[in-house]
A and B are shown apart, each in its own frame.
Chain A
C-alpha cells in the first residue's frame, strides 16, 4: 500500500509522527514535491481567493499528489483533521477543514484521522482507528502509534539540543513562524537563506515542543491565547529572546491567528529590534530583500539604542 503526504502545513508540525506510523505498519509513504511555481499556481487555482497562502500551497501539494496518483499507484492521500487538544487548546480553523475542502475539491481517495478532544477523540484513539480502517490489527496499530510518538518526541529533543548548542554563537537571530512557513521552499526559505548567507545563526522559536520545563511561559506575553501552535511560538520567544540580536516574524497573508497574536507580541516586546514580514503570493522578491537588508543593517550597528535605555 502507498500513502501520499502533502508536504505543507500540518505535516510540518509532526514531521516524524505520521511518516513513522505508516512505515511501522509497512505502508510506503510518498511526499509531494517541494513547493515550486506549479504547485503554487495550482494551489491558487483550486482555492478560494481569500484563503491564506499556506492553505493555498497545501492545496497545491494535494493537487501534485492527485496528478501523480495513477502513475505512481498512490492508494490514498492522507489529510489529518486536527481540531481540539487537551485543556481546550485549539488550532486555526483552517486545520479543521483541510480534509473536507480537499474531499470537495479533488477527485481522489483520501484518508483522515480526527484529533478532537472536545468529542473525546484523543490522538491515541484517532491513530488506532486509522490503523484499523487501513486493515491492521488493533495491537499492531497501538504499537505503531506508541513507537511513532516516541520517535517524534526523540526527534523534538534532538532538534532542541542542537539548537541550544547553536545559541553559543553571538550572531543569533530568532525567527518566529510556524514550521510550515519557515521550512517551506517558497515562503520562508528565501528569508532563512538570506540570513544564513549573511553569517547569521538562525534560531527557530517553534523548536521547543514538549521539552521546556514550564509550558505556561506564553502567559507572560498573552494570557488569553488558546491556539496551540501559537502558544508554542510564544514559549519559544520567552525561551530564546534574551539570547538573540533581533526577532523576525514571518506570517502568510492573511493568517488568522498570527494577525492578532503577532501584533500583540510586537506591542509587548520593547527591547529588541523586530521585523514583521507578511508574505503573499506575489513573486517579486525585491521588496523582501530590501527590508531584510535594512534590518540586518540595524542589527550591525552595535551601539544602537534600543528601547530608549542608554
Chain B
C-alpha cells in the first residue's frame, strides 16, 4: 500500500549508500554502514526559507529590476562602470586635500630617490680614451660633473653632443660601463695642413675643420701650407694639388687661394703657377710635363699662367726680359 498523505511522523534521513552498477558493497567502510539515523521534525521548514507560498510570483518591482539587470549595457555599467566611479570618487576625495597630495608626492619622490641612489646605479669616475692630455683636460672642463652621481641623472646624449662639439674631437661615444665608470671614447682630429690667415696660423684636418691654433709655422714645418680666404673649405682640392706637385720637391712653398675661387701654387724664387678654377690638377700636370722636357721652372720665369687652358702664358722676370730685349736689339743692329 502506498502512502499519499502527510504522516506526522519523525522522518528518518539516512546517508545514502553507494548504489548502481559500479558500487561494490565490499568497498563500503563498516563505520559508514552503521550511521546513526538523523531525526528531524517535519514542519520545521515552516519557519525556514521555504515558508513562502509554494508558487511565488515575482513582484512587479523585482521583475522589472531583474530585467533591468539583464540588459547588457546596464550589466556592463554595474560590473565595470560602478567600481570605476567609486574608485575615482574615493581617490578624488582623498586627494582633495593639499597636504595629502604633498605627502603622497613626497613619498613617491623619496622612493624614487632611494632606488636611484642604490650603489648599483652610481657613477664614480669618468674615463677618457683616445684623447691627448690637453684634450682630456678640455673635456673635463666642458663636462663638469661632480662624482659620485646616479646614472639616472646623467644625460649621456647631451654629454656626447657636448664633447663632439669640441674642435679637436672628430667623434665621441659616451657610455656608462659596469662598475660605475662613465666611459668616453674620443677620436681626435689629425692636423694635416697649415692655414695661414691674417688672424693667425691654424691647423686643419682633411675636411677643413679647425683643429688648433698655433703660434708659428715652424712648429709644424712638416705640414704643407695654404693661405687665402676661404681656403679651409677646399682642403681636399689643395691636398690633391700638393700631391701632384710632389715632383717639385722642396721647391713648393704653398698654395694660395685667390679670390676664393682658384689656387696659385707658390714655389721658391718667387715663382708662381696660376691654376684655373676647373680641373686645376690637370693644368698642373701639363706644367709639370713641360717642366720635365724643357726645365721650364728652372728658367727665369716669374709666373706660369694656366688660367686659360687654350692659352697658357709665361711671364718672365724683369731681368730676363731685359736680357731678351738686348739680344733682340743686337740681332737687329747686327747687320
Q: Do A and B belong to a common assembly?
A: no
Where the two chains meet, the residues of B that have a C-beta atom closer than 8 Å to any C-beta of A are: none
